[in-house]
Amino acid sequence: MFPKESEYSWKNTEWDFRGDIGQCTYGHEGGTCIQSTLDFIEPSDGGEARLKTKIDLSKISGDKKKIVYISCKGLFSPVNWFGEFRGGIEIYCDGKLIWSGNITYGKDRFELNEWKVDIDITNYSLLDVKIWHWAKCWTGAVEIHTARPKIVIWYNAYSPPKKYDLRVRVVDKESDNLITRARVTLLKGDELIDEKVTDGGEVLFEDIVENGYTIKVTHPDYYDAEGFVRLDADKYIIIRMIRKPTWFEKLIDWLATNWWWLGAGFVFLILIFAIPEMIKEFGRMVRSGVRGIFGGEESAGSKKE
C-alpha cells in the first residue's frame, strides 16, 4: 500500500447557487471567491452554494480514506452597516452531514481558516461541499466573501502514485508576448514543490506526483498571477500576467484624473502675481485722482483771487 493525498479545490464557476449568493464581482483570489451582498432592505437574508459536480469517492483507488484537512478564506466589507452575519462550510457524504465549521472573516482583508481533521469516509461513495452566508442588517450593507475552499483526502493507494510533466508558459495578457525572467513557483497547499525562472517564456516541471497544484508567478514589471491545475496527465498551461503601469503612464493617468488641480493651481499663481500689481495700479489711480481733485480746487481759488 502507498499513502497518498488528493487535494480538491474549486473555482467560483463550479458551484450551484441558491438565495443571495453568487460569483465574486471583483475576481478575488484567482476567481475562487463566492460573494453575498446583504443590506437593510432585506433585514435578514443569505444563500448557499453546492458543488455542481460531487466528488466520486469510488474513483479514489485505495482504502482507509479520510479527510485530513479543510480550509478556506473569509473577508467581509461593511458599508455604514450595523447588524450581524455568519458564514460556514459543511461536508456531506451520500447526503449526510459529516462535518461543519464556522468561517472567520477578516474586515476588508482575507483571513485564512484551517481545520486539521480525521474524518473516515471509507464507506461512502459521493462527497459534496456546501458554503453558506447569512446576515441581519439594521443599517447599511455588508459584503461577505468566501474564497479558496479546499479539502485534502488521505488514503492508502493500491499502486504507486503516477508522475507527470507540467509545462507552464507565461505571457503578457494584452499582447500575448512571452515573458522572460518570470519566477514560477509550484505549490501543493503551502508546501513548496519546485521553483523556476522562465527562459524564453516557459518552464518545465518534470516527474511531478499526480495531485492538485497551485502555480504562482511573479515578475517585477507585472502584477502577481496564479492558477490551479489538477495534474492527472502531462499538461501544458498558460498563465497571463497584467503589466504594471510605468511612472510616465501613472503620471498621465494622474493628470487625466486631476487636471482641475492644475487649472486651480494656475489660476492661483496668476492671482498671487497679479493681485499685488493690481493693488499698486489701483493705488496709483487713487493718488492721481486725489491730486487731480485737490489740484483743481487750488487752481480755481487762484483764479478767483
Q: Where are the domains of the chain?
A: 1-159, 162-248
- Over residues 202-248, the pLDDT tens digits come to 999 999 998 889 999 999 999 999 999 999 999 999 999 999 988 77
Q: Are 240 and 171 in contact (CB under 8 A)?
A: yes
- The answer to whether 1-159 and 162-248 have equal CATH topology is no
In this predicted model, which residue has the larger pLDDT, 294 or 60?
60
Whether the pLDDT of residue 297 is over 80: the answer is no
The CATH code that applies to domain 162-248 is 2.60.40.10
pLDDT tens digits along 189-199: 888 999 999 98
- The answer to whether residue 304 scores a pLDDT higher than 50 is no
Most confident of 14-28, 40-54, 285-299: 14-28
CB 78 within 8 A of CB 142: yes
Q: Which residue has the higher pLDDT, 38 or 118?
A: 118
More reliable by pLDDT, 15 or 284:
15
* pLDDT at position 302 over 60: no
d(CA 132, CA 22) in angstroms, rounded, equals 11
C-alpha grid cell for residue 212? 492538485
Identify the burial level of 218 via C-beta atoms within 10 angstroms of its C-beta, where 0-12 means exposed, 13-18 middle and 19 or more buried.
middle
- pLDDT tens-digit readout, 28-64: 998 999 999 988 876 568 899 999 999 999 999 889 9
d(CA 171, CA 178): 4
Q: Residue 40: what pLDDT?
A: 80
Residue 251 CB burial class (10 angstroms; 0-12, 13-18, ≥19): exposed
pLDDT of residue 160: 81
For residue 289, count CB atoms less than 10 angstroms from its CB and return exposed for 0-12, middle for 13-18, buried for 19 or more.
Answer: exposed
Cell numbers at residue 195, please?
A: 521553483
Q: What are the pLDDT digits (tens) for 129-157?
A: 999 999 999 899 999 999 999 999 999 98
Task: Give the pLDDT mean for 15-24.
Answer: 95
Instruction: Determine phi and psi for 282, rounding to 5 degrees.
Output: -65, -40
Structure-block grid coordinates of residue 40: 437593510
Distance CA 146, CA 117 (A): 20
Tens-place pLDDT, residues 162-202: 899 999 999 999 999 999 999 999 998 888 999 999 988 99
Q: Give the model's pLDDT for residue 292.
A: 64
The model's pLDDT over 85-102, given as tens digits with 9 standing for 90+, comes to: 999 999 999 999 999 999
pLDDT band at 271 (very low <50, low <70, confident <90, very high): low
Determine the pLDDT at residue 252.
72
Q: Per-residue pLDDT for 288 more than 80?
A: no
Q: Which of 161, 168, 182, 156 is nearest to 243 (CA)?
A: 182
Alpha-carbon torsion angle 85, 89, 93, 98, nearest 10: -80
What CA–CA distance (Å, rounded) separates 112 from 105?
8
Q: How far is CA 144 from CA 45, 82, 83, 164, 206, in A?
A: 12, 14, 13, 38, 40
Q: Which CATH architecture has domain 1-159?
A: Sandwich (2.60)
